[in-house]
Amino acid sequence: MRRTIWTWIGIAVCLLGLPSEAFVSTARAQDVDWQKVDETLGRKPAVSGDVHRYGFPRTDLSVTLDGVTIKPTLALGGWVAFKPAHGGAMIMGDLVLLEAEINPVMAKMIASGLQITAVHNHLLRATPATFYMHVAGHGDPATLASAIHVSLAESKTPLTVAAPSSPPPAVDLDTAQLDQIMGVKGQANGGVYAFTVPRRDPISEGGMPLSPVGPMGVATGINFQPTGGGKAAITGDFVLSGEEVNPVIAALRANSIEVTALHSHMLDEQPRLFFMHFWANDDAIKLAKGLRAALDQTASTKG
């Protein structure tokens, strides 16, 4: 009996006892015309494993909160991630929109067959107010990319990427001490020092493992933007199980960190997750200790 290459891969998977989804996903990743997706979205992705993540920062906006001018990488970094799945690709994303942009963008997304999984705030008191639309979909990658593009065209989100006029500013914080307190290594990102903290438990959506967790938006994200004199503005979101929500709220409030939003981002993820956003502007080391106390209430990795 004649066997295809997929048959032989399946036999090898069974003999080796490896998860078949990983092999199928990798094989399909090689079949995706990523150049066409890149061209449709007008930018290059950050690639992690089989996930291609495209950033849509709101560099057109000047948003202030409590006297701090927010850098796009602190809280205005919209994105869409593509992961090969089930003969096509699944997408997940988080788009940053002004209030007047929500309904026009949503209408285009509905017409294009995309799912809206959440619309909400992440911050309080910001001027202008920003909202965050979480989206999902599955299908042909190029078709999905076109749907995202035409939908975002209903907003003022920059759809072309301008060459940077100057290198990003240095992060004027004791990053080595922040790393030590947080228990993970941070990364400079557009003048912001960013931490990504995965959970210990695997996360799936629609039966598909969401990995790598950082690019798929299901790892705790913590960002520090220097505000001078060793101080930093912090924001991000904790990824929590239901029983972790109130212990984390208590830990944040005990350390003078404001809880600004609590909500879901997805519709049928397993396990059920909640996302908690926060804000403070204070001594960076003090805030890191408070954030670490909150992380200690969760099933998150350390070290």
Q: List, for residues 245-261, the tens digit of each pLDDT value.
A: 999 999 999 999 999 99
Mean pLDDT of 30-45: 93
The residue ranking higher by pLDDT, 288 or 167, is 288
Angle among Cα 218, 221, 227 to the nearest 5 degrees reads: 160
Question: What percentage of the chain reaches a pLDDT higher than 90?
Answer: 83
CB 269 within 8 A of CB 210: yes
Q: State the pLDDT at residue 273.
A: 97
- pLDDT given for residue 162 in this prediction: 81
- Per the model's pLDDT, the better-predicted residue between 230 and 11 turns out to be 230
Return the pLDDT at 195: 98
Confidence of residue 186 (pLDDT cuts 50, 70, 90): very high
Q: Give residue 92's pLDDT.
A: 97
pLDDT, greater one: 20 or 239: 239
pLDDT number for residue 207: 83
Q: What's the mean pLDDT in 84-103?
A: 95
Least confident range of 24-33, 119-128, 141-150, 184-193: 24-33
> Which two tokens mark 14?
């069974």
**Residues 4-27: tens digit of each pLDDT:** 333 333 334 344 444 444 444 444
Q: Please provide the average confidence, as pLDDT, over all residues in the chain.
A: 90
Instruction: Report, as an integer, the average pLDDT of 172-184.
Output: 97
Q: Rounded mean pLDDT of 46-56?
A: 97
- Binned at pLDDT 50, 70 and 90, residue 168 comes out as confident
Mean pLDDT of all residues in 184-201: 96
Q: 71-80, 197-206, 256-265: which range is least confident on average?
A: 197-206
Is residue 92 a contact partner of residue 205, using CB atoms and an 8 Å limit?
A: yes
pLDDT of residue 6: 32
Per-residue pLDDT, 303: 58
Average pLDDT over residues 45-51: 96
> Is residue 184's pLDDT more than 60?
yes
Q: What pTM was estimated for this model as a whole?
A: 0.89
Question: What was the pLDDT predicted at 29?
Answer: 58
pLDDT at 28: 57
Given a contact cutoff of 8 angstroms between Cβ atoms, the answer to whether 80 and 133 are in contact is: no
Amino acid identity of 261?
A: A
Q: Which pairing describes strands 231-240 and 68-69: parallel, antiparallel, or unpaired?
A: unpaired
